[in-house]
Structure 1
């Protein structure tokens, strides 16, 4: 074996080793918090106070999950989060598709300026628009309603959805739409019957991102809906803490209830999400 081949193999092994180390760090960083929350949810308060720390529960119990559902209306919080997240996702995808299609297809004079404006809008911190947004919702009489969250979440998710769908729409041949319109389909019909089905990976990816953002959002949910019956899951979890005590096992159980739906959603649509992200990156 020549010296060059030996050097090449050494470089390849080192590269794989570094990739393995980097992947391990990412996995530990991503999974360890969720695993720690799961283990905490199975412990008792006395176990959490033991020193040195015990990583695995000595006597695992499901009592914390029962208390999480009985001490607060956790099912109501979950239902509210589902309604808000699904509604915001559907609305943002619908509006994003109608906005992305002309940007991708029509010869717009200021197309790049429009895309730059969309990116710029997404950079505004949420706290900077909280006061005018709250005043607007109060003037419209939408406080303590699902629309008080669905409408803002849809607007906040629009930049990401529009940019992702524009990337996918540009990769679809125009001949397919022209053929559909020759057969009697309108341009809007071609969008929903031809373009969107062919852009399924991008639509799924944008939808998952929108759903997760709406599911996890806290600040707007805390400000817009003060009624107990309209609280979403992130805000509802904060209600478990007392004035002088933090029941971490119960809080961890409620957190697992919030984490599991997102984890299941990602696992089910994992291939589509990965395909959407990689395809969008190559086309964009």
Structure 2
């Protein structure tokens, strides 16, 4: 009922998943900073997530974790499981999972991946996800996960259709208030759930990403920003104070910098003051 990619990239760990199933993000993905990431699916056993992360935290290798969890489970023939740590990966598909079902694992210079799915249009789904993952090492980690998920969707995805999708990614010292959560996004019920997840990820980057393309506040741009902020009632003598006042109210504070104005914040300011 589901296709997912569980992956690492440096010390980042995460899962992207899509399914013809309500609120797949409530069931499939889990990850813990410095430990690993897990996807439990098919006839999903939710307890696999906590059990797998506990074993991984104790230093048990992914393949051994799979063996222990499935070996003690009478329903293992209908389970599917993907595991990744910073140093290893494993994917398991029980022989009674509904066709097409299977998975792929591998590593490149950036980290490892486990890709798996069931009730898929065919093996091309996981194959295209692997290809997309490997070709996108230049992307930020959450974007790379979603890029791979979208490739699986384009290749046919869940053969029953689309309903939900989710992304959960962690990395030490990142995320809102340095929580370690890079992205925690869910689309619980939507006819184009994978594409909607990609849209939410773009917003997540806007609101929680750091400054990227920073433009110096000088000359004509300084005059423009000052004038646009004044239209919004921000008339502090120092333009940086005025910008911080407005950006904080709009939840753009992670993109503030003393070196100028982030280009996405500038775009948002222009949209907010468009005549």
TM-score (norm 2): 0.23
Higher RCO (C-alpha under 8 Å, 6+ residues apart): 1
Q: Which has the higher helix share?
A: 1
Q: Between Structure 1 and Structure 2, whose CA radius of gyration is higher?
A: 1
